[in-house]
Structure 1
Amino acid sequence: MKLSFAYILLTAAGLLAATGASAQQTPKKTTPAKAPAGTATSAGLERDLADFSDWVNDKVERVATTARRELPRITDEFDRQSRRIDRAVDSLTVEGKKEYTTQKVRYQRWASRQDSLDAAARRPAAADQAQRRLLNEDVVISKARASELPDLYFRLVENMRGAKKDWTQADWSAASAVLTRLNARYDQVRDQLPLEERLRIRSLQGEFRTLEKARDVKDVMRE
């Protein structure tokens, strides 16, 4: 009887030890680590690159004078999009990195070209010469009377209507410089004009932008 009781105790102790060892060997479940907040996925980064490429293509194919007036805003948008991709550029494929570099270079060359054209068109001698040619008159726009402005706007737009097919990018830049002078003077004296004349000027400003945008993109890209 004593032997049987001792045997039972030993057996129970062995079972307890085996249970404890088994519990220690059972691996604990682990929770997968989450990606840091703000980290772009590969698929998301590729979408960003595709959007960036489409955006650059749209800008470099624009008529230069139209885009140049918007250049500060366009530059801000370029910086925003490129910073987003720069943060995770190492995650791009080899082809993706090549595409990204190509598009950045295209944009930078285009933006430099806009700056050069703008600077050339706004040199006083060049602007004065373009003004005489486009307005058919030697007039100091900064001193023009309010009543003269509707006719000056009309002359500028009329010349554009007839000659725009033969214009180079430099011609469009010169016309934009003349328009800028007219707009600056108009802002100073607009209150001296009756409503019908202000509406006429607004219509001519709108036609200028329409003619500008209608220029054949292929001609822009060939220059």
Structure 2
Amino acid sequence: MIAPSILSADFARLAEAADSVSRADWLHVDVMDAHFVPNLTIGLPVVKSLHAATDIPLDCHLMIDDPDRWAPPYAEAGAANVTFHIEAAHDPVATARAIRAAGALAGLSVKPGTEIEPYLDVLREFDTLLVMTVEPGFGGQEFMAEVLPKVRLAREHVRSGHLRLFVEVDGGIGEDTIEAAAAAGADVFVAGSAVFGADDPGCAVESLRSTARGSMAV
């Protein structure tokens, strides 16, 4: 699945940006609070408005402090998938259950320097694992191939039946990197500048999807 990131879109024309990628699987929304990461983007009111403006399922990535408090309202606002960072959570299991109870999928994200082995049992409570392939906070960074072993490990556990979740990657995803991420086992790909920096964002989505399908791990 391809999830274009509106972090790379024109914030004054978010509804138009969504329309330009109408065949995307998810629309990735980066929520940053200038505390957990050194950047400030958008919050709950914009997500509510965007949900009303598009039929594309919203994939909200919360790079914020205190996600235990703030994550469930994003599900209540209509997000299809709400992901928060393990590094910021106090009770990830309770938060995941609250997100699910509000009607959304629950996602857990890890920074490049965070290993997933300590959280394999916790991940049974989640629908999505988001492996950051850049340091969270800003778009346009270079893809970090050194984190792909985490993607492979997650895929192995999905294949064995220990976990049942999407394996998502976010950061530096484009035509030159999506093949490696797909081969490692990712099945959801967040792409920002590779989509919204293209002359035709819709065609960019289709091209990325085709490239990923040809390289995906079985």
Q: Is the TM-score greater than 0.5?
A: no
**Under a length normalisation based on structure 1, what TM-score does the superposition of the two structures give?**
0.26
* Structure with max Cα Rg: 1
Highest RCO, 1 vs 2 (Cα 8 Å, sep ≥ 6): 1
Structure with bigger strand share is 2
Structure with bigger helix share is 1
**Under a length normalisation based on structure 2, what TM-score does the superposition of the two structures give?**
0.26
